[in-house]
Amino acid sequence: MKKAEERIEEIVRILRLTYPDSRTALYHSNPFQILIATILSAQCTDKKVNEITPGLLAKYPTAADFARADPAKLEKEIRPTGFFRNKTRSIIGASQRIVEGYEGRVPDTMEDLITLPGVARKTANIVLSSGFQKAEGIAVDTHVKRISGLLGLTRQKEPGKIEQDLLRIVPREAWLDFFTEAVIVTTTQAVDTARQLVGLVNEDRDRISGLGRAAASALRVHRALMGHPITASGWLVEKTGITPATVNKCLGHLERLGIVRELTSRKRNRVFSYAGYLEIMNQGTELPG
């Protein structure tokens, strides 16, 4: 298997293509709400948290409201999420700190967030990414830990060390989405699909590398097909900047290798499918439209 640094581009591409609208499953409409929801989500399902937060946040809409909440009453209200005593202390403590130190607004830096009671790097990363669209790290929970290990991105077991491995290889522009994509992959039982796709890409690239001088151009065509698994040769010419004759030669090589399949018999603008990708994703090979 190739090193993680060599595979991460394909992994990120596959995750973005497969889950283009990834976002946290926790209901929220502002940074304070995602902070409360994230604290409640510790050792609890997002579904259960989402059952509780609408009523809870309607009763306590601001940090000031939580700061003066009756601990005994709040414990009863969040009891279904588990560890309710610790969570009550964290919510009230964080809210008091926000009121006293930040004028009632959730701070928007890692340095300030981790000073709040009950907030460590994982929670702070989720608040920054989902509440402020800021990428200062990658939140590592059980889902990210699992998918990162299965995809061979880290051998570490501790969240902090896993995050450092991921920050080293995952492009910064992908930090915001990597957490939610990894959660979606694991919670939708799609780990096998992700692994199959990464394996497919690596296998294809290895076979293409054996084409000699034609390999470089063929790899560019293959990379373009990752974003458009059913596409026309004319689009590939525009996307890759390669001449029509060279694109057609590359498609011929890929077809002989079994990587693509021609869907039409047009001579000037032939249509091909990236058959392996479509098969793994359980998609058909019919022409769109």
> Looking at the domain assignment, is residue 255 inside a domain?
yes
**pLDDT recorded at residue 115:** 95
> How does the average pLDDT of the chain come out, rounded?
84
Provide the β-strand partners of residue 271. Answer: 232
Q: What is the pLDDT of residues 130-175, one digit of tens each?
A: 889 888 878 787 778 887 887 788 889 898 899 899 889 888 877 8
Domain holding 221, by residue range, is: 210-280
Q: What is the pLDDT of residues 180-224, one digit of tens each?
A: 656 555 554 455 666 677 778 888 889 999 999 999 999 999 988
Same-domain pairing of 151 and 261: no
Written as six digits, the tokens of 43 are: 């050792």
Lowest-pLDDT range of 108-117, 176-185, 233-242: 176-185
Cα–Cα dist 88/79, whole Å: 9
**Is 193 in contact with 281 (CB distance < 8 Å)?**
yes
Ramachandran angles phi, psi of 146, nearest 5° = -70, -50
Q: How many CB atoms lie within 10 A of CB 134?
A: 16
Same-domain pairing of 39 and 139: yes
Number of folded domains in the chain?
2
- Quote the strand ranges of the chain, DSSP E: 230-232, 261-262, 271-273
Cα–Cα dist 50/250, whole Å: 50
Cα–Cα dist 159/145, whole Å: 7
> Looking at the domain assignment, is residue 202 inside a domain?
no
Indicate the pLDDT class of residue 231, thresholds 50, 70 and 90: confident
Amino acid at 145: K
**pLDDT recorded at residue 153:** 85
Written as six digits, the tokens of 59 are: 């009763």
| Residue 237 scores a pLDDT above 70 | yes
Rg (CA), the chain: 24
Same-domain pairing of 173 and 257: no
How far, CA to CA in Å, does 251 sit from each of 48, 81, 119, 218?
50, 54, 52, 7
Enzyme catalytic residues:
122, 141
Same-domain pairing of 250 and 174: no
**pLDDT recorded at residue 287:** 39
Q: In this structure, what CATH number is given to the domain that contains residue 216?
A: 1.10.10.10
| Residue 86 scores a pLDDT above 80 | yes
Same-domain pairing of 117 and 227: no
Same-domain pairing of 137 and 228: no
Q: In this structure, what CATH number is given to the domain that contains residue 148?
A: 1.10.340.30
| Residue 284 scores a pLDDT above 60 | no
Length of the chain: 289
Report the range out of 92-96, 159-163, 168-172, 280-284 with the highest average pLDDT. 92-96
Cα–Cα dist 144/239, whole Å: 33
